[in-house]
Amino acid sequence: MMKVEGNAGFTLYERERIKIATNNFNKAHIIGEGGQGTVYRAVIDGTTMAIKRCKEINESKKMDFVQELVILCRVNHTNIVRLLGCCLQFEAPMLVYEFVQNKTLQELLDLQRSKRFHVTLGTRLRIAAESADAFAHLYSLPRPILHGDVKPANILLAEGLVAKVSDFGCSTIDEKTQVVPKGTPGYIDPDYLLEYQLTASNDVYSFGVILLELLTSRRPFSKERKSLTSMFQEAMANGTLVELLDSDIVDEASMRVIQQAAVLANQCLVVPGTTRSTMMLVATEL
């Protein structure tokens, strides 16, 4: 294990440390899986961490990848999961993150949908605001960091349901080696599917879908495979938004706030993306 020169907060871990910490990548340690890799719960020097196995990367690109990770680990924001280090002694890079002890926004939405947990409108909009602020911060850096897979499963919830954006590190690999589209069905910007060139605007679209989920407690696709975005845009055009909303948050006192949030979501979903709201504007409005 060694510290990267000039960055005391970034550690290069040895292969054996990672294997021991994950019990040789035991399936019992898996806490998350997705298109960008598998996440394991691990303990290193008595501290619980999250280790993500990314996609494989060419040997010639590893040093460039390390330099990008050093930049990522300097990101210091309350609502962004902190990157602590990596291990490049496997074919697939291992990223080491702080461990967030709670659920994801996806799990919270599922609990709300099943009526096993009530999430107030205020809490929903606070989570949205914290997430938007985190994304806006990533885009405002001298070398902007794009996400590419914005969805509820990648927004972790710490103590007090504080939002923490995760899963942005592996995107530095995909930007250079991409042969298939990034993202998750239901959240992918139609503009992105035309050229496969990731922009901040694509992430804004995905965030708009999340905002719809928070307002409606519906999934991105219905059982009939009708998209939530198309149902929402029809409801906005026909003046029937209230029929789409989650009844748990609808009352006379909250409708003005809900209407404002719905207008903002609509601005996130505009196609083409050149006329879409920026994430900074979204964060400010929320």
**What phi and psi values does residue 211 have, to the nearest 5 degrees?**
-60, -40
Q: How high is the pLDDT of residue 179?
A: 41
Q: How high is the pLDDT of residue 235?
A: 95
The catalytically annotated residue of 133, 149, 189, 246 is 149
What CA–CA distance (Å, rounded) separates 143 from 72?
A: 10
Longest dimension (CA), the chain: 60
Three-state SS for 100? coil
Segments making up each domain of the chain, as ranges: 2-98, 105-285
CA nearest to 213, candidates 113, 79, 116: 113
Per-residue pLDDT of the chain (286 residues; tens, 9 = 90+): 544 444 456 788 999 999 999 999 999 999 887 666 788 999 999 999 999 887 776 666 666 666 667 777 778 899 999 888 888 888 888 889 999 988 899 999 999 999 888 999 999 999 999 999 999 999 998 888 888 889 999 999 999 999 999 877 555 544 444 445 567 889 999 988 887 788 899 999 999 999 999 999 999 987 777 899 999 999 999 999 999 999 999 987 799 999 999 999 999 999 988 899 999 999 999 9
Read off the amino acid at residue 50: A
Contacts of 191 by beta carbon, 8 Å cutoff, 6+ apart: 201, 202, 205, 271, 272, 273
Cβ burial, residue 221 (10 Å; 0-12/13-18/19+): middle
Residue 12 tokens, joined: 């290069």
Is the domain spanning 2-98 CATH 3.40.50.300? The answer is no
Which uninterrupted H or E stretch holds 95? Answer: strand 94-98
* Angle between helix 255-268 and helix 228-238 axes, rounded to 10 deg: 120
Cis bond upstream, residue 272 (ω within 30): yes
Q: How high is the pLDDT of residue 145?
A: 84
- Do 98 and 84 meet the contact criterion of CB atoms below 8 Å apart? yes
Q: How high is the pLDDT of residue 169?
A: 59
Three-state SS for 277? coil
Residue 212: CB atoms within 10 A of its CB come to: 26
Residue 109 tokens, joined: 């939405």
149 is catalytic: yes
Q: Right CATH number for 105-285 from 1.10.1740.10, 3.40.50.1370, 3.20.20.330, 1.10.510.10?
A: 1.10.510.10
Q: How high is the pLDDT of residue 173?
A: 45
- Do 163 and 130 meet the contact criterion of CB atoms below 8 Å apart? yes
Residue 3 tokens, joined: 């510290």
Q: How high is the pLDDT of residue 69?
A: 75
